[in-house]
Amino acid sequence: MATKTVQVLHYPTLKTVLMVEDILKKAKEPLSRYGIMKRAKKKIMRQSLNTILAYLEKRGMVLDSEKGVIWTYTPPAKMENWLKESVEV
């Protein structure tokens, strides 16, 4: 079976990825793609949003279902301790 490849015309910036992450982290319930775009501080192209959500889902940070997208990632406690004890350079 041949793999399906989609050509991306516009890749999102890191600023946009972080903005979408923040929106999903703060959401109390699953958000539709339209709901994410509506809460964004700046306009997001639908293709860019789909690219971001595919990336986050592949990394295990979000769950994309028919009810919407929800943030699922919780950092390990060990990592949080490292961040508390670290020194900023």
The set of residues, in sequence order, having a beta carbon less than 8 Å from that of 23 and lying 6+ positions away, is 31, 36, 39, 40
Domain-located, residue 64: yes
Could you list the residue range(s) of the whole structural domain that residue 61 is in? 14-77
Domain-located, residue 4: no
Q: Say if residue 2's pLDDT is above 60.
A: no
Do residues 36 and 23 touch, judged by C-beta distance below 8 A?
yes
Domain-located, residue 85: no
Domain-located, residue 1: no
Structure-token pair, residue 70: 């929800």
Specify the pairing of strand 62-65 against strand 68-71: antiparallel
Structure-token pair, residue 4: 């399906």
* Confidence band for 25, pLDDT divided at 50, 70 and 90: very high
Q: The domain that contains 57 carries what CATH number?
A: 1.10.10.10
Counting the structural domains of the chain, the total is 1
Do residues 76 and 37 touch, judged by C-beta distance below 8 A?
no
Domain-located, residue 19: yes
- The pTM score is 0.77
Domain-located, residue 84: no
